[in-house]
Structure 1
């Protein structure tokens, strides 16, 4: 987000060199499929023992992707409001991320009412129900953690979901798996999940628990089955 904001303000260009400083143990090779459009690639990686040139040709973000910006982010980062107004005047699409189901805001008479600020996003879970997938909730995510780091961690544990919904400002994420068995296997592999001593909360999303209980556990299905068929990283 910081880089995208600097692009929007004209502070950086495609020629700007991006350098990151990390520990040697943090340098990992990850497939490009784990990256989203808003993820920033770097030109150089500096560690205590070496300087690495990435030679990455993947385009850097060309600005703010407003469809990934929530209203909560707009309220906590004041400069976003100014940048959005500026881009709206320039004729760009500045539609924000949809967080509420508009049908829930309508009364029986067809009028609208203010949306409530729910802790569990209804759209993510209702879509999961429609698709027949099972959703796992990860909470208490460290504020410094990035979505690419979480995806890499999931892949290392053999728990990559079919789809990941990232809500970093709320310190949570939702992982969609194709069925209850894969979700249960993911829960087992993510048991005790922590980053630098920061324990994260991993459980079935609230609306999924009853549905999975009704259909039962996945029996004796082995974790290896999931590693072969469920590792569809983003």
Structure 2
């Protein structure tokens, strides 16, 4: 069997190269891998560990709707997976009673989807069949309610023309079927169908892989064909408790509810003692932990990090990145090889200058700007390193650093000979701004007298960075 584009299907690949150990999981992996590599997989992706969505799911749903078994059905149960979403849409469009299982059976069993009054358009239907819509518009149905189903549509990973079905490996579909058998919702004439891609259909699957809990398929619908299976196995009669663990019952409250009903009726509901799912996951985690431990040990011992011909490198030390090597080559620099165990010293942080002395200038007019004071200081040859301007309060501070012996020519700092006395002498009798006194009588147009500034020493301190004016 081949796809329309001539690429071999997963079934053809299985015929040519059988896996070393033939299991359900080996067939799942082949189908998932084929869908992904052949461009047939659709959202959500990747399709691994899912009921895979595929190109042509809508065409398969339309082909199912053409069958008499669908036309004559009034109550339909459809799984909540993405590839069967077109089937759910058609059910609501044709006003069939639609039942959808609660995902993973964690918060109930079935939901009967009912559209709100007056909302029957395509947008409302697509919203109702979505994951959130099924929770919003779904009416919960318990195992004690009376339900009769005419058609059951299941999702599959792989199916055969003999009627064998392989799901994603969690057992949800089989448990849902067993619960519906307990409710007597499934009759002898209830048809079980599945919609899949052509590449998911196998001519035959090993019968020894399947047990009494596996649900057989009556009709397989693909985008191109309808296959009525031979159905080589019988349907489950209900929940097979000896195949379930206590953990599974605790995760699905509906199973615990059914078990209590069965035990009150005097039926045997003994669970298996060994939880194979937990053991399998624990073994996987152990293998992963061992691999991580070996990897960490090899890195710590320096395995695989040395190169023949490289000298002077510490084993286990990561190699210099290619970008850094290329930048050194372009700049004409040769990479420096340090001695064993020697690390390159870090550049010392530049020390913050220390203030030698400070001067406070007060009696500044509120109308005076800082640039006016800077110009006046420059005219008198005074160049402070930091000026803290508080002109709106009538004063400012001038801070002078201690002279550095490493200063070279061209520095704009204060001269080395600057001192408190020289600065006070240069600023003596300095006037700035106006309103230094009232004008004489009869001379209203005379300019204001400059205000005499008060200059005095101030204790040295580190100024606040937010108030610094350089």
TM-score range, shorter chain: 0.3 to 0.5
- TM-score, structure 1 as length reference: 0.43
Structure index of larger Rg: 2
